[in-house]
């Protein structure tokens, strides 16, 4: 099954909206976003195909699409959470309105919220988790939690964990079975 994150369920047909996909078709207007993830685009409920970009370059479409995500990072979103008995904190956004992935397009805002460069998990459609790495036990709990979300999701997305470095999202890790 191809996992999809719609960036705006309320989209109208006049705007482009970003969509993360695991395995897009060759005809879709997409680019590699990070290892294992592709950034594609929609207009309303329609996937944008490369031949339909018309007067827009893929970069222009991305700029237009990302502008729609700015409202996804608000004072009460993502929510700060804790794990009982542990000192680490994590943040989660899972409103299901398609704006949950906004932080992936504003990594500096995620770093500001977390107080440093966080690790990010996108285990399923409409779910993003992030935390500051460094405590091995907390990292393991977060990894296992993200894996459980992935395993139980109707639309799983990625088993990888990412970190924004040198201007790009790079794989930071992945849960190994048996951990």
pLDDT at 77: 78
Pairwise CA distance, residues 23 & 3, whole Å: 8
In this predicted model, what pLDDT tens digit does every residue of 44-75 receive, in sequence order? 666 666 666 656 677 777 776 666 666 666 66
pLDDT exceeds 50 at position 89 = yes
pLDDT at 159: 93
Could you tell me the residue ranges of all domains in the chain?
Answer: 4-69, 71-174
pLDDT at 19: 77
pLDDT exceeds 50 at position 7 = no
pLDDT exceeds 60 at position 150 = yes
What is the torsional sign of CA 33, 37, 38, 42? Answer: negative
Residue 131 main-chain phi, psi, to 5 deg: -160, 165
Evaluate whether 173 touches 119 at the Cβ level (below 8 Å): yes
Quote the DSSP letter at residue 98.
S
pLDDT at 4: 33
pLDDT at 52: 62
pLDDT at 100: 81
pTM of the full structure: 0.78
pLDDT exceeds 80 at position 136 = yes
């Amino acid at each position: 099954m191809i996992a999809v994150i719609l960036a705006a369920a309320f989209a109208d047909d006049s705007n482009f909206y970003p969509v993360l996909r695991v395995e897009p078709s060759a005809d879709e207007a997409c680019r590699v976003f990070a290892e294992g993830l592709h950034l594609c685009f929609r207009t309303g409920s329609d996937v944008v195909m490369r031949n339909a970009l018309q007067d827009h370059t893929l970069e222009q479409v991305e700029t237009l699409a990302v502008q729609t995500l700015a409202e996804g990072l608000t004072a009460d979103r993502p929510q700060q959470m804790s794990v009982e008995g542990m000192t680490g904190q994590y943040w989660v956004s899972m409103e299901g309105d398609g704006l949950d992935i906004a932080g992936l397009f504003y990594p500096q805002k995620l770093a500001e919220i977390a107080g440093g460069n966080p690790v990010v998990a996108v285990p399923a459609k409409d779910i993003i988790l992030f935390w500051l790495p460094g405590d091995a036990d907390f990292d393991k709990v977060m990894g296992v939690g993200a894996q459980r979300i992935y395993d139980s999701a109707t639309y799983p997305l990625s088993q990888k964990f990412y970190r924004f470095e040198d201007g790009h999202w790079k794989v930071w890790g992945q849960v190994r079975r048996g951990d």
